[in-house]
Amino acid sequence: MRLGRIPWINCYPIYRALDRGHVEVKAELITGTAADLNDLLAAGELDVSVVSAVEYARNAAAYHLLPDLAITCDGPVHSVMLFSRRPAHELDGTTVLRTSSSRTSVLLLELLCTHRWGGRPKFATVRAESSDLGALRGFPHEAVLVIGDAALMLAADAQYPFVTDLGSAWKDWTGLPFVFAVWAARRESDHRAVQGIHRSLLAGRTWGLEHLDELAGLAASNTGIARAVCRAYLNDLDYALSYRHLAGLTDFFRRLAQDGLVPDGSLSFITAA
């Protein structure tokens, strides 16, 4: 079995217990960006992976969701940020950069621009890692969508006078949590093996949430981001997939489908062991 994982701080509470041997998982761990893992799972090169929520919506017929496991926020997320030189509602007709590293954040931004802020920017996709801030700054733009650890780093940069947290923007708009990523398994993967991986991931989450101070220190050491920032970031993330999270997820999918950005579909879960 092959299990995908993102190396960013937001996945530390799930995977560090597996990395350190506190929790056993019967799978080979494959590391990549969210976009990489989306493509690998779609190609059948992974059996189970954390993926962008939008990846599930686009290929729901090929996947089962793992219950009670996601990367969510109920308000600010801190790592999905629009940095701009003018307010978000004044970006109509301007160039907004976004990287190819994320798909959910990109479509969330489109929804917000079109239906919340009343503008239609010119989106330009830059084929660069979201952590490559130098590459992003090399393109003329009025705003840039930055995700992951790089967003935490850039938040301390005074280059952009306006900063919009997309998690907060969604909550202000809908009153619901936002689900950025889910764990999905290919439908043809061995069901019992997937159940075993699911149990390991849940156990990893239990360990991780009990050691957030330790994980924040590790994140600070690995990235150079202030420990207090890492700790606050981890504290605001939620890794559950409750009925309220599912309400936010289905509302997001409904809005995307109305705009023709994803097909209509329903959620399908593996049976929890």
81-105 pLDDT per residue, tens? 999 999 999 999 999 988 766 789 9
Give the three-state DSSP class for 122: strand
User: Contact 118/272 with Cβ under 8 angstroms?
Assistant: no
pLDDT the model gives residue 149: 86
Domain ranges of the chain: 2-72+179-258, 80-174
Number of C-alpha atoms within 13 angstroms, CB side, residue 55?
28
Options 3.90.1150.10, 3.10.350.10, 3.30.300.350, 3.40.190.10; CATH for 2-72+179-258 is 3.40.190.10
Specify the range with the lowest mean pLDDT, choosing from 71-75, 203-207, 242-246, 265-269. Answer: 265-269
Helix (H) or strand (E) holding 113: none
User: Contact 57/103 with Cβ under 8 angstroms?
Assistant: no
| Number of DSSP helices (H) and strands (E) in the chain, helices first | 11, 11
CATH code of 80-174, in short, is 3.40.190.10
CA distances in angstroms from 204 to 1, 39, 109, 140, listed in the order given: 17, 25, 31, 42
Confirm whether 2-72+179-258 and 80-174 share one CATH topology. yes
Comparing C-alpha atoms, which of 165, 187, 183 is closest to residue 249?
A: 183
Given a cut of 70, whether residue 134 has pLDDT beyond it is: no
Q: How buried is 236 (Cβ within 10 angstroms: 0-12 exposed, 13-18 middle, 19+ buried)?
A: middle
Mean pLDDT over the full length of the chain: 91
